[in-house]
Structure 1
Amino acid sequence: MIIHMIKEWFEELLIDGIASNLSGMFDTVNTKVGEIAGEVGMTPSGWNGGIFSMIQSLSETVILPIAGIILTFVACYELIQIVIEKNSLHDVDTWIFFKWVFKTMIAVMLVTNTWNIIMGVFDLTQYVVNQSAGVIISDAGIDITSAIANLETTLESWSIGSLLGLWFQSIFVGLTMKILSICIFLVIYGRMIEIYLVTSIGPIPMATMINREWGGMGQNYLKSLFALGFQAFLIMVCVGIYAVLVQTIAIGSDITGAIWTCMGYTVLLCYTLFKTGSMAKSLFTAH
């Protein structure tokens, strides 16, 4: 009799522990996934105004004068190349100097308006992201307890060994979910920090645009900006696919299988989120 009472008490303890673990298992991940659409849909100025102001000030007061020096060097180098190409002025047309002056004026305009150009790129890409949000984003939340009818009743028919195994699994999966939520945080916030770092030094690569040999730096810089901008679109697509996958999980009475399937989809989400950066750069051939 006493052994039976202890057994019932232990079973109730395991069932309560399992129900508690399952009820909050995916809360952190659900929160992070729900924040993704809002986070990646922001422009650099909207994400954090304090950091944006600091980066803009550094770019305009520290980097811009350096870019002016580099632009002067590149313009002089371009003029020397023009002279050499025309046989040291033995075969020269005056229009080439007008061409050089025009290219230099364009370069000065690009450098002095670098910040506006950069913000224009991100305004464009964020418009695309926000327009697509209503199409590809759906409910990506996971709630095992609400999906399983009469959870406690189902668990009462399990043996102590099965309950103990599910309890350990729920603890492990719950810990894994917290780690994955940190991974999602790193991807989303890491991208924004990378945007601020790239934009802060923008005038320098833009100063090289007028020269064929040096211009590759500026062209690659613009490609990197578009890659960072459209990475947000790829992130949204990943979340949309994840939402569809988790909604198709057939739970039934297979609680263990449902838990591991949900974790597998979440691991897949984190993996694809980490891949969006390199994928975007590959698509735009940015180094």
Structure 2
Amino acid sequence: MSDNWVVQNLQNSLENWNEKLAEVWELLTESPEDFRGGGIWEIIQDIHGALMAIGLALLVLFFVVGVIKTCGSFTEVKKPEHAVKLFVRFAIAKGVVTYGLELMMALFEIVQGIISTIMKASGLGNNNELILPDEMVEAIEDCGFFESIPLWAVTLICSLVITILSFIIILSVYARFFKLYIYTAIAPVPLSTFAGEPTQQIGKSFLKSYAAVCLEGAIILLACIIFSVFAESPPVVNQDAAPAAMVWSYVGELIFNMLVLVGAVKLADRIVREMMGL
């Protein structure tokens, strides 16, 4: 690595970005069970199990309320076809609550299969790393003291922006895991609404929202793939420009591409929800 402070600062910020983006690729293929060693998942399972009793109690309540609202009289309940329909609804709802965790993990595995397919189809195993071109490093190292003053200011601004963007993108991916944990933990309560016809829409919306959170991973991956393709063709270095202008032009274009990627990641939730009609 160069001994020049400007070069070191820029390289360190780009390395930090590369590390965060590489971590994003790893997290997109990781399941909630393995995230952070699985300690969080064990707690979520305990909470899910504790809420199971509440979910089953609400199941009966929603079922009774649904029967009262959908049946005009007790005579209708005695009809075989209506009684069978109610029994099937109750049995399915109980199965959804009891095996809700398995159902949600199966849905997550399906989405992970989609993510794996996208990775294989793209031919990319990870992101393409960003580096400073050798000609830019040489131009910066050849700068005199007075030429370096505006270069320091440009470098500080660019490095700060790149560092902030790198943390934003990794936090967005971490936030997806937190949403997966929250949905899984409280699942027995909203899933119990399937027991009643008037309340079943709540359960459907819950599953669709959970599926949307799972699919966020696919949208984030697509955004990372597009960024990696951009990284294969870095901006052209204008060797005739002053060092500060050269750095500003080159790194500025990189930052613009980073902003597009971060924006796509931040909008992943909205994009998926619009696709699913939520």
Supply the distance in 2 between the matched residues of 1:169 and 1:241 (Cα, whole angstroms). 27
Picking from 59, 64, 69, the partner of 2:57 is 69
Picking from 163, 167, 177, the partner of 2:152 is 167
CA contact (8 A) 1:33 1:140 kept: no
Picking from 193, 198, 221, the partner of 2:178 is 193
Matches within 5 A, 1:114-133: 114-133=100-119
How many Å apart are 1:161 and its aligned residue?
A: 4.8
How many Å apart are 1:278 and its aligned residue?
A: 1.9
Is residue 96 from structure 1 mapped to residue 102 from structure 2 by the alignment? Answer: no
Is residue 151 from structure 1 mapped to residue 140 from structure 2 by the alignment? Answer: no
Supply the distance in 1 between the matched residues of 2:14 and 2:140 (Cα, whole angstroms). 20
TM-score norm. by structure 1 comes to 0.85
Q: How many residue pairs are counted as aligned between the two chains?
A: 266
State the one-letter code of the partner of 2:191: M
State the one-letter code of the partner of 2:80: T
CA contact (8 A) 1:82 1:96 kept: no
How many Å apart are 1:134 and its aligned residue?
A: 3.0
Picking from 256, 267, 275, the partner of 1:275 is 267
CA contact (8 A) 2:32 2:181 kept: yes
Supply the distance in 1 between the matched residues of 2:121 and 2:227 (Cα, whole angstroms). 14
CA contact (8 A) 2:32 2:177 kept: yes
Supply the distance in 2 between the matched residues of 1:75 and 1:128 (Cα, whole angstroms). 36
In the alignment, structure 2 segments of 5+ residues that lack a partner are 240-245
State the one-letter code of the partner of 1:39: L
Supply the distance in 1 between the matched residues of 2:65 and 2:248 (Cα, whole angstroms). 68
Supply the distance in 2 between the matched residues of 1:91 and 1:34 (Cα, whole angstroms). 59
What's the RMSD between the two structures over aligned residues? 2.2
**Residue in structure 2 matched with residue 45 of structure 1 by the alignment:** 33
How many Å apart are 1:64 and its aligned residue?
A: 0.8
Matches within 5 A, 1:198-277: 198-252=183-237, 253=239, 254-277=246-269
Deviations along 1:225-277, one digit per CA (max 9) or x if unpaired, are 11011100000011111112232223322433111111121122212211112
Is residue 106 from structure 1 mapped to residue 92 from structure 2 by the alignment? Answer: yes
How many Å apart are 1:151 and its aligned residue?
A: 2.9
How many Å apart are 1:205 and its aligned residue?
A: 1.2
Between structure 1 and structure 2, the one with the greater Rg is 1
TM-score norm. by structure 2 comes to 0.88
Supply the distance in 2 between the matched residues of 1:284 and 1:277 (Cα, whole angstroms). 11
State the one-letter code of the partner of 2:211: F
Supply the distance in 2 between the matched residues of 1:25 and 1:33 (Cα, whole angstroms). 12
Deviations along 1:54-99, one digit per CA (max 9) or x if unpaired, are 1011111x21111111110111122223431xx5527973221121
In the alignment, structure 1 segments of 5+ residues that lack a partner are 1-14
